[in-house]
Structure 1
């Protein structure tokens, strides 16, 4: 049996990057105590800086008060110690999108957490079944794939592996909904629903720009005005991170063939260190 929603008070988040810090913030905003863990204190500190900046934006927009922001911040404890996750009732992994790294993390989590604790991964493309195989509880492993930026985006994709139990899947939906998110469910197929469709759209936008179909501004405006999306493909790629887009597209390419082959310009941008908004330059420039 997996621990139920009523028993979840403390949530562990492994990885203090963009996604992990966002997940920690949203969980704390909705009343959970959070343990945010990364391998180096500098990374933990950077995660808290991201959370502080995000909360400050909500205060400026008068969505929350200064007191609310302080309360949310106080619910989050940062650590580099794996043992500090022992008391967590649910753990969500949000580390680099690499199957070997994720399997190592899940083997560690399987060792330090109670047997009835659900272990979730925020992976956007990798196999839940493969990640779960590193544990002795594959029935209690599930994908809880948040969208970026986590504090703003409403949707969460629940992904069930080969051995994920119905109780674990139900818990993933219920927990996500307790964070004021709306869920949908996908089977454990490459890219799931979201990235299987999104990444080819971004990739083709990059190809269109590289081949001179239109300027980057016209490609983005054409998609926004023509299809009613909030961001065009190049703008969105910058926002996600071009390195993240490349990793996801390469995973899909290896699993599904040449229709997912990464655009040459995407590879060139990543090789040059132009990763999008987080590096200050991608297809556009940022302060």
Structure 2
């Protein structure tokens, strides 16, 4: 990636090639087209390309209920089976082929020879290491992970994955690109699970254990999360929630209590939390925790309770679980 590319950022309306016309490739191409980019979808399977418009129409319809607007979005996506043609003039190529290392390595090796060094080569991998995918790439400084969370056109967080060879300018470029499509880029170094799955499966593996041991039922587990943890996390995320809900000294005490009861090292009080306690930074009640609060605690608590009440009332009125027709 050249300094010029890093300085100018993603060009508005520029050309992006998406390699792989499966489920994620279809979503990504439609999303890029909606945000004004010229999207070129490439796949060796002509049947996937032929069915693109049919598969993409419901995705485009989430952006607008106007048929003409939907048609315009789909019209900004062209399809081809020829990779050299697809990458011509693109400022970024986004790979979305099957989650198999050899397949991705082969694509990146080919892209490295087809694309000038200033073209960003991105992967949507959900589990493979960036350094492994780019093992046969010569121009490593232009390789980046841009990993969307399903449904990608609705979920706004996108992981910007980097490794030790990724220049900071490219990470910043990735964040800027995410912003250009109304997403929020969260940077994470390559590691098993990256950031989102690392957090998500830490919770899920504990839930699986609870089910295996018969400690709680399916319905009770989902209700516990949906009506307590879930709304707070949706509003504020885990660290701001802690600032708003519990003093840091209490949070630290709970971690040590769980450690003593279970012997699980994961529950042992962590350095970052201990540092906040030692500094007297208890969260909203002292004006500083993970975050710094500009308003008095009483005002913060009043606003906290208003937001949470509004969200819970909205969820109750929606009756989301019933509408899914599950049993």
| TM band (smaller chain) | 0.7 to 0.9
Instruction: Judge conservation of contact 2:126–2:147 (CA < 8 Å) in 1.
Output: yes
Measure how far apart 1:211 and its partner are. 4.2
Among candidates 17, 40, 56, match of residue 51 of structure 1: 56
| Conserved 8 A contact 1:160-1:186 | yes
TM-score normalized by the length of structure 2: 0.64
Counterpart Cα distance in 1 of 2:31 and 2:159:
16
Partner of 2:85: 84
Residue pairs, 1:198-217, within 5 angstroms: 198-217=200-219
What SS class does the counterpart of residue 220 from structure 1 fall into?
Answer: helix
Q: Contact 1:102–1:131 (CA<8 Å) still a contact in 2?
A: yes
With a CA cutoff of 8 Å and minimum separation of 6, indicate the structure with the bigger relative contact order: 1
2:186 equivalent in structure 1:
184
The CA distance in 1 between the partners of 2:168 and 2:71, in whole Å, is 37
Residue in 2 aligned with 1:19? 24
Map of 1:251 onto structure 2: none
Displacement after TM superposition at 1:230 (Å): 10
Q: Which runs of 5+ in 2 are unaligned?
A: 234-264, 266-323
Report the counterpart of residue 33 of structure 1 in structure 2: 38
For structure 1, the 5+ residue unaligned runs are 232-258, 260-283
Give secondary structure in 1 for the equivalent of 2:39: strand
Residue number in structure 2 paired with 1:66 = 67
Residue 5 of structure 1 is matched in structure 2 by: 9
TM-score, scaled relative to structure 1: 0.73
Q: CA deviation at 1:46?
A: 4.2
Bigger Rg over Cα: 2
CA positional deviation for 1:85: 2.4
Paired residues, number = 231
Residue 115 of structure 1 is aligned with which of 114, 117, 142? 117
Q: Secondary structure at the match of 1:228?
A: helix
| Residue of structure 2 in register with 1:221 after alignment | 223
Mapped to 2, the partners of 1:186 and 1:149 lie a distance apart of: 20
